[in-house]
Amino acid sequence: MSDEAAKVDRLRVATLNVWNKSGPWLDRRTLIREQLEELAPDIVGLQEILELRVGDNAMNQADELLPEGFHRAYGASHEMSGSWVPEGQHLLFGNALLSRFPIRAHFVHPLPGEDLSDQKRTLLHAVLETPFGVLDVFVTHLNWKLEEGWIRERQVKEIARLIGEKARDDGRYPPLLMGDLNAEPQSDEIRYLGGYTRLGEERTVRFTDVWSYGGVGPGHTFDTIRNRFAGQYPEPPRRIDYIFVRGPAHDGRGRPMRPRIWAHRDENEIFPSDHFGVACDFAV
């Protein structure tokens, strides 16, 4: 281990669906920034990030949240359309990654479902240069409709395949997967990632849900009782946002520590988002 790596005693990771710019965005933006600064993460995965492109210029919503000195990668999932998008402008919807560490490269992989539903989803893959080696991080946002578990099943199988192909198990730090999966822990989609069902595949995969390492309570991230922004939807409170690590490694790298909810405090009933976020420290 290098001297620089020895100075890093943990890796702090967070994820949040920011609810694009719905609701009182400027107030919500302030709350996200404040709670992000308090959390002091090293890596943040964000979903429902908008990017407006006009000619050769692009304005990305994630840049409004970017801590000083951080790097950003973006992967669009689809282009939004409607009379409210002026002619000649392109409004994209997708995932972002904010990183304290340099981003060597990033890629955007399409996920199944575009031909099966009215949604198009992608997987953002960023390759980071960290003090403890190369780190592959994946950020995604799966189909949201409750009845589309069968599409999410196809999506998680493709995600597992892509991670297996792009982040080989060659001794580097275990890859991380995070995002809004729109599926509860007992669903087949999540059970597949955990290695509890094959979903028709020849073999299982093994990604650890960090909440199993000491998360307190049910960990609801879409809380239609506590969060008034989520409460406008006739859905039950549930945990649908996740951080996963492949493994973790036998030598302890990637072991989750102190999983918790963040971006959950309101100010005058204004919450940072309609989702709560998930944060976790990892052993390095």
Distance (Å, whole) CA 40 – CA 48: 21
Per residue in 36-73, pLDDT (tens digit) is 999 999 999 999 999 999 988 999 999 999 999 999 99
If you count DSSP H runs as helices and E runs as strands, how many of each does the chain have, helices first? 4, 13
Which CATH number is 65's domain given? 3.60.10.10
Who wins on pLDDT, 169 or 216? 216
User: What is the per-residue pLDDT for 5?
Assistant: 45
Query: Per-residue pLDDT for 219 more than 80?
Result: yes
* pLDDT-derived band at 7, boundaries 50, 70, 90: low
User: Between 8 and 259, whose confidence is greater?
Assistant: 259
Q: Are 48 and 18 in contact (CB under 8 A)?
A: yes
- What confidence tier does 171 reach under pLDDT thresholds 50, 70, 90? confident
CA angle 254, 256, 262 (to 5 degrees): 125
> Quick one: 103 exposed, middle or buried, by C-beta within 10 A (0-12, 13-18, 19+)?
middle
Give the count of domains, the chain: 1
In angstroms, the CA 220 to CA 113 distance is 26
Find out whether 189 and 153 touch, Cβ atoms under 8 Å: yes
Burial of 217 (0-12, 13-18, 19+ CB in 10 A): exposed
Do 110 and 133 contact (CB within 8 A), yes or no? no
166, two tokens: 């792009």
The per-residue pLDDT for range 66-85, each reduced to its tens digit, is 999 999 999 999 998 876 77
Compute CA distances 234 → 223, 224, 255, whole Å: 11, 8, 36
pLDDT of residue 229: 98
Give per-residue pLDDT as tens, 193-210. 999 999 999 999 999 999
Q: Which of 164, 113, 114, 111 shows the shortest CA–CA distance to 136? A: 164
Residue type, 252: G
**pLDDT tens string 13-38:** 999 999 999 999 999 999 999 999 99
Domain with 15, as residue range(s), is 3-282
For residues 144 and 209, what is the distance between their CA atoms, to the nearest angstrom?
A: 20
Q: What is the DSSP code string of 217-243? A: S---SB-TTT-TTGGGSS---B--EEE
First vs last Cα of the chain: how many Å apart?
10
The pLDDT assigned to 16 comes to 99
Reading phi first (left if > 0) and then psi (alpha if -120 to 50, else beta), residue 153 is in alpha
**So what's the pLDDT on residue 87?**
81
Q: Which amino acid is at 7?
A: K
What tens digit of pLDDT does each residue of 124-163 get? 999 999 999 999 999 999 999 999 999 999 999 999 999 9
